Every structure is written in structure tokens, then in C-alpha cells.
Amino acid sequence: MSETQTNVQPIRPQPETDEGSCVLLVGGPGSGKSFSLSTVVQDTGLDLCVLGTEPRFRESIEQSFRERKLDLNRLHYCHVYPAATSWHLLIEAATNINTLSFQSLSGMKGGFNKEKYQQFIEVLRALANFKDERTGKLLGPVDQLDPTKYAVAIDSLTGLAMMSMDCTVGSRPTIAEGEWGVAMNQLERLGNTCTAMIKCFFVMTGHIERETDPVTQASQLYVSTLGRKLSPKWGRFYSEVVHAYREGSKYYWSTVTPMFDLKKRFLPLSDKIEPNFAPLIKAWQKRRSSTEGM
């Protein structure tokens, strides 16, 4: 057996008391997804650990903490952003596009400057040993955090998808069909590990994309990922898949939006749900407490 094989840790079923509820919160830009994350700590006794994958992700979360008069010491964050391509690399890529045929670009082996596109690897390292950038404290692997003290969030899936593709092809402007498969596979593995292994209450935010349902062939709304095949599968291991939206000056969650692939276990069937994680967390804590007492 190879060293790689011996280091692989199989995902084993966890006892019911170790399983945290998972929420996939999907909405367009400005729908209040990041802003609602502060409600995770509101009257729950939990601190929030957030991995941000989008520039300026802290603006909305910190503003929400201030507006709700919550203790910012209960917010722990780290960030890994998709690569911001330098002007030099942009010029190099544009020059190649301008001077080479599509066939020549497609025939190039490997990715352009792949060594500069390792952000997806940094995401895995951050989750394997979460470092609070505000205090410099190492909290350890997110799947080993105490579920009675912490909740975990990734804001958002969109950044993860960009980094997975960058990791696969670098800055090459053409993407082969097989490379789409590679990028989708490693992104799906990360998503499955988060939902299977994180014992804390867990939230993933994401944007909206319209895809064709692979079974019914009907047009459907899903969370935005990579490719047409991954989006319909992404929400399958979450406890709740919720649509976040704004109507005028009000923000809501919905579990009944037409043509949206949503899912509910503890939330009501409604399109006017208050955007607040606290009731979900309290329901999970109650279920967890009653299970432990059995």
C-alpha cells in the first residue's frame, strides 16, 4: 500500500450527537446572506468562525455585529481570496490570445503560471487549522471545534469555485472538458467533507444560477458552482437549502420559491421567513441535547 493510500482517512458515519445541522444559504448579490451570519451568535451561546473567499467579506458581517450590538470578540475570521492576476500576467495572457489561434491555445500543455494559483490549497490549509486573523490564535481543524462553543461558515461557494478552477488550469484562457471534471471533482470533495465532518452548526453561502435539471430537463434555480452537473447535487447533504432575497427595504428567507431547488427540515414552508439563524441553532441544540440524554 502506498504512502498516499495509508494517509487517506475514510469518512465514517458519526454518532447522531456529533452531527451539526448544515445550512446552504443561496441568494443574489445584496440579498443579505453575509449580513445574516451575525445572527449565528445571537442568543445561542456560540462564537462564529468564518472563512471568507470574497474580497471585503468582513464589511457586511462586522457592520451587522455593530447594528445588532453583538460582541465582535465572538467573531473569528480568516480569508483566502481568488487570485488577483497581475497586470504583467494579464498582458501576457492577452498577448497569447491575440497572437495564437484557438487550436494553439487549446493545445498548450499544462496551465499558465499554475504555481501562482494555489489559493484552493490555502483554503484546505485554513480549514485544517483555522487561524483567527484578528487575534492570531490557532483554533485547530474546523471539524474538531467544540460544537457547544463554535459555529462555522464559509462565505462563499462562489470564491471556492473560482479557486478550484484556477488550481486546475492556472491562467490559461481555454479549459478542456476533462479539466472541468477535475475542478468539479475537487470542489465536490471539499463540499462533502464539510457536510460530513464538521460537527458544529455549519453555513455555506452561495449565489444563484439557472441550470437544467438532469432528470426532468426542466429549467431550475440552484446554487452557483462549476458546470451544469454539480449544481443540482450540491444541496443534497444539507439540512436546509434556503433562498435569501430582498423585497424593497426588507430582507427575507424562503423555502418555497418557485423553480428553486430548496430543502427544509426545521424552517417553515414560507416565503417570508425572518433571516435569522438563531431559531435553527436552538432547534439543533435542543435535538442534540435530547439525543445525548438517551
Looking at residue 90, what is its pLDDT? 83
In a domain, 6, yes or no: no
In a domain, 90, yes or no: yes
In a domain, 5, yes or no: no
In a domain, 7, yes or no: no
In a domain, 127, yes or no: yes
Q: At what angle do helices 177-197 and 227-234 cross, to 10 degrees?
A: 10
Residue with cell 414552508: 269
Written as one letter, the residue type at 153 is A
Residues with Cβ within 8 Å of 9's Cβ and at least 6 positions away in sequence, in order, are none
- Provide the CA 221 distance to its chain's centre, in angstroms: 17
CA dist 267 and 109 (Å) reads 49
pLDDT at 25 over 50: yes
CA dist 148 and 153 (Å) reads 15
Looking at residue 144, what is its pLDDT? 96
In a domain, 88, yes or no: yes
CATH of the domain at 77: 3.40.50.300
Mean pLDDT, rounded, for 191-215 = 91
User: Under a CB-based contact definition with an 8 Å cutoff, are residues 230 and 13 in contact?
Assistant: no
Looking at residue 3, what is its pLDDT? 44
Residue 10: band (very low, low, confident or very high) from pLDDT cuts 50, 70, 90:
low
pLDDT at 111 over 80: no
Of residues 81, 88, 83, 91, the one with CA closest to residue 115 = 83
CA dist 238 and 23 (Å) reads 6
Looking at residue 7, what is its pLDDT? 57
Looking at residue 292, what is its pLDDT? 60
Per the structure, the count of domains in the chain is 1
Of residues 163, 169, 181, the one with CA closest to residue 93 = 169
Provide the edge-to-edge strand list for the sheet that holds 201-206. Answer: 75-79, 47-52, 150-155, 201-206, 22-27, 240-247, 250-254
Mean pLDDT, rounded, for 167-172 = 87
How far are the Cα atoms of 10, 93, 186, 192 from residue 6, in angstroms, in the given order?
Answer: 10, 40, 20, 21
The helix (run of H) or strand (run of E) holding residue 209 is strand 208-212
Looking at residue 109, what is its pLDDT? 66
Residue 22 β-bridge partners: 202
CA dist 210 and 203 (Å) reads 22
Looking at residue 174, what is its pLDDT? 85
Domain that holds residue 161: 14-292
In a domain, 54, yes or no: yes
Looking at residue 293, what is its pLDDT? 54
Mean pLDDT, rounded, for 245-259 = 96
pLDDT > 90: percent of the chain? 68
pLDDT at 2 over 80: no
pLDDT at 282 over 50: yes
Q: What's the length of the chain?
A: 294
- Provide the CA 282 distance to its chain's centre, in angstroms: 22
In a domain, 2, yes or no: no
Q: At what angle do helices 157-169 and 119-128 cross, to 10 degrees?
A: 130
